[in-house]
Every structure is written in C-alpha cells, then in structure tokens.
Amino acid sequence: MARGLEQRDGLRPVLLHGPAPGEAKLAAEIGRACSSEGAHLGRAPSPQALSAFLRRVRLFIGNDSGVMHLAVAAGTPTVAVFGPSNDRAWGPYPPGAARHAVVRETLACTPCIHRGHTFGTPEGCGARTCLDVIEPARVLAQARQVLDRTAPDESSRGLAPIAP
C-alpha cells in the first residue's frame, strides 16, 4: 500500500508508533518494506508536536486511535481503519465529509466493542477477523479517493503517515 502511494501519488510514507509493546518493532518492519528512506520516525515527543506534524501532512492513514482523532482535528485528510469498535460512534467527524473515509469489514459480529450506546465486549474477540479480512487494496483505494477529493494546500509536504 505504501509503495502504491509513493509510486502513483508521489507521497512519502512516514510511520509513527506508540508506546505499546511491539509497536516499535512492527513500525520498523513496515518501514523496511517501504521504498523511501527514513520512513520510520518513531514516537512523537509530545501531543503538541504530533498535532503540529499532522497539520503538515497530505494524508493520514491509521487505525481507530487518538492519533486518528488528532489528524481529523488538525484538518488532515484521513483514512481510518476500523475493526471491533463502532465507526459510526467513533469515526472521523463529521461523518461522510469528503476529507475522510472509513474502511471496515461488516461482519455479523461487528462492532463488538461498542454496540450502539452500550459497551459490548470491552476486549473484543481474540481472532480480530474484522481486521484480518481488510485488504490493503481497499485502504489504498479509499486513500486515493480522499486524495482526489482534497486539494493539497501550501503547507502540505507530501507526507503520508501510516500508523501501525
């Protein structure tokens, strides 16, 4: 997916990771798969620095996370990947905005964490099938649609963080 954004769209993928165990290793593995040099930035030093960085990127692709919400708040075009949580409750705001897209697989069991206004299964399921069946090509297609709908402004530097 990252190579597709590089080759067709001229974007340089930049990976960020959080403090959770294994995230740095996963981000480094993904970074090695990208053709760009210096694609793995590591952790942001502060929420303020992360927010400033996100204001300068052309596109954010990431999971349902606080970073995704920061990207949306910063006005950055966003593709949010959802699994066990409810995109209708926790997705990019406002829903349906041209600057944002949600990628999720609708299964009989999704969403399992938040169902309507109730807290479903807090830990979700162990299998995470809802995430495993999402094809990278679907995320790339949504990213290109968002890019086509949003024109870069003068502060954009052609960076596309892809959070693990």
Does residue 46 register a pLDDT over 90? no
Domain count, the chain: 1
The CA distance from 28 to 41, in Å, is 9
Indicate whether 142 pLDDT > 80: yes
Please tell me the number of Cα atoms within 13 Å of 71 on its side-chain side: 28
Q: pLDDT tens-digit profile of 11-38?
A: 888 888 888 888 888 888 887 777 665 5
pLDDT for res 139: 93
User: Which CATH number fits the domain that encloses residue 21?
Assistant: 3.40.50.2000
Beta strands in 48-148 (DSSP E): 60-63, 78-81, 100-103, 114-115, 118-119
Which pLDDT does position 27 carry in this prediction? 82
Q: What is the DSSP letter of 87?
A: H
As a whole number of angstroms, the distance between CA 130 and CA 106 comes to 7
Closest residue by Cα to residue 134 from 163, 105, 111: 105
Confidence bin at 107 (pLDDT 50/70/90): confident
Q: How many CA within 13 A on the CB side of residue 130?
A: 22
Which residue segment(s) compose the domain that 148 sits in?
Answer: 2-161
Q: Are 72 and 78 in contact (CB under 8 A)?
A: yes
Q: Is 103 helix (H, G, I), strand (E, B) or coil?
A: strand
Cα(49)–Cα(35) distance, integer angstroms: 26
